[in-house]
């Protein structure tokens, strides 16, 4: 690809909320790519992750997918684990104070976080770093100097802080430290590019670039990516909302969950979680818009692409065949997990114990919506004693054999 094509690919899926800012970042990116070519050196790319959980979902992989694009173009990628910033917690996307984690929790989460990320990143081309390496060494005097670059008003213009201020809710001073710490990460890594979601706009565009300039470094370029909607196609993917597609699942489950998203959400998935080029995406969108391609076929291609990128083509082939057999031909899968029924268990008991629902309330809602069937018969009462052994279906894609 020439530099124009590279820039278009690397800017794919970006959102800045301001066309002038986006154009400026695209221009800087092309200039930096040109400079790297002239100097015969790769660009240095990084994205930071605070391991506050071990349960990653597809939304967490958006920035990883962008880093992989840079890797495929020959650039250096650093997967930064925020084992020091996690002790504060990023307030960027929260209207309430984040609970602070203990160092032991962060360390345990970091192990599984990086492991899951390597499903997307090329492990042989990925450097893993921990920001405690330098942040734990910053003196109080250095921190004062960094803080002198910012005003309280700048933080109060941020929507999450402004909402809390207007509600007369506490905004703790340590929450403002996070942006400074993240900016110092960028300086310490001497990076050319920093990647983050739209909730990181202030941290990257304002804080990191200002701190790097203040400390005498060339400011990095902000690649700010849109937020992936959940399976409802409306709000941000979130485990707590139940609209997520987990990473630690299997190919059949992931394929089925992607097939459940509304057509309107597909363009976001095209840009944020596939390996498709801008031209490939335009072709699929044109086919949807002019009616020459069945949206279901495009969605199947999308599901195949996402599963293939996580599990490989063989697993994607199997998942697609299973989906066609089960959902298009209305067959029951040949293989499914087994659950051993215990005396006196109710429908809700079985659903939760077998992992078909995350909680009794979610199980009850699914029953109320007519989404639970035993051997093809809809179960209407969640508190009834489980009727008999057989194939239990919950929602569109989950099956267990109750024995």
**Distant-in-sequence, close-in-space partners of 306: CB < 8 Å, separation ≥ 6:** 58, 254, 255, 258, 269, 273, 274
Q: What is the average pLDDT value for the chain, to the nearest integer?
A: 90
Q: Do domains 3-225 and 251-328 have the same CATH topology?
A: no
- So what's the pLDDT on residue 95? 47
Q: What radius of gyration do the chain's Cα atoms show?
A: 23
- So what's the pLDDT on residue 328? 67
CATH 2.120.10.30 holds for 338-402:
no
- So what's the pLDDT on residue 225? 97
H-helix or E-strand containing 129?
strand 126-130
Average pLDDT over residues 266-294: 93
Q: Which of 219-223, 268-272, 359-363 has the lowest mean pLDDT?
A: 359-363
Nearest Cα to Cα of residue 298 among 310, 282, 313: 282
CATH of domain 3-225: 3.40.50.620
Q: Which of 169-178, 194-203, 325-334, 383-392 has the lowest mean pLDDT?
A: 325-334
Cα separation, 257 vs 231, in Å, equals: 7
Structural tokens at position 384: 């009834």
Average pLDDT over residues 254-270: 93
- So what's the pLDDT on residue 30? 97
Three-class SS of residue 303?
Answer: helix
Q: Which pTM was predicted?
A: 0.79
- Topology adopted by domain 251-328: Tyrosyl-Transfer RNA Synthetase (1.10.240)
pLDDT band for position 90 (cuts 50, 70, 90): low
Whether the CA torsion 103, 108, 114, 116 is positive or negative: it is negative
pLDDT at 92 over 70: no
Asked whether 226 and 218 are in contact (CB, 8 A), the reply is no
C-alpha of 127 from chain center: 20
Among all chains, which residue has been given the structure tokens 């093809």? 376
- Domain definitions of the chain by residue range: 3-225, 251-328, 338-402
Q: Which long-range contacts (CB under 8 A, 24 or more apart) does 372-381 make?
A: 372/347, 374/402, 379/347, 381/347
Backbone phi and psi for residue 299, each to the nearest 5 degrees, phi listed first: -65, -35
Strands 193-197 and 44-49: parallel
């Amino acid at each position: 690809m020439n530099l124009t094509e590279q820039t278009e690919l690397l800017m794919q899926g970006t959102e800045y909320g301001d066309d002038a800012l986006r154009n400026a970042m695209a221009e800087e990116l092309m200039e930096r790519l040109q400079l790297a070519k002239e100097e015969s050196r790769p660009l240095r790319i990084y994205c930071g992750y605070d391991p506050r959980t071990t349960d990653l979902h597809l939304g967490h992989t958006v920035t990883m997918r962008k880093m992989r694009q840079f890797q495929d173009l020959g650039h250096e990628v650093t997967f930064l684990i925020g084992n020091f910033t996690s002790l504060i917690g990023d307030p960027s996307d929260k209207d309430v104070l984040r609970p602070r984690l203990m160092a032991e929790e962060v360390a345990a989460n970091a192990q599984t976080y990086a492991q899951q990320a390597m499903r997307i990143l090329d492990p042989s081309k990925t450097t893993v770093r921990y920001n405690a390496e330098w942040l734990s060494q910053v003196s109080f005097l250095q921190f004062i100097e960094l803080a002198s670059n910012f005003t309280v008003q700048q933080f109060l213009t941020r929507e999450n802080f402004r909402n809390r201020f207007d509600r007369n809710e506490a905004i703790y001073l340590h929450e403002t430290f996070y942006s400074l710490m993240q900016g110092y990460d960028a300086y310490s890594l001497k990076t050319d590019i920093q990647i983050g979601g739209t909730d990181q706009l202030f941290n990257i565009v304002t804080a990191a670039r200002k701190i790097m300039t203040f400390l005498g470094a060339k400011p990095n370029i902000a690649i700010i990516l849109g937020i992936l909607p959940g399976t409802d196609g409306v709000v941000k993917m979130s485990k707590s909302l139940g609209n997520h597609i987990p990473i630690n699942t299997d190919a059949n489950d992931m394929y089925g969950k992607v097939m459940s998203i509304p057509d309107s959400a597909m363009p976001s998935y095209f840009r944020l979680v596939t390996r498709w080029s801008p031209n490939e995406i335009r072709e699929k969108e044109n086919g949807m818009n002019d009616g020459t391609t069945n949206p279901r076929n495009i969605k199947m291609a999308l599901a195949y692409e996402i599963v293939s990128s996580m599990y490989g083509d063989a697993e994607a082939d199997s998942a697609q065949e299973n989906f066609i057999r089960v959902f298009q031909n209305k067959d029951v899968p040949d293989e499914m997990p087994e659950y051993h029924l215990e005396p006196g268990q109710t429908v809700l008991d079985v659903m939760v114990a077998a992992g078909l629902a995350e909680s009794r309330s979610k199980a009850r809602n699914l029953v109320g919506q007519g989404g639970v069937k035993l051997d093809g018969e809809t179960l209407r009462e969640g508190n009834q004693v489980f009727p008999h052994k057989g194939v239990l279906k919950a929602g569109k894609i989950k099956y267990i054999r109750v024995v």
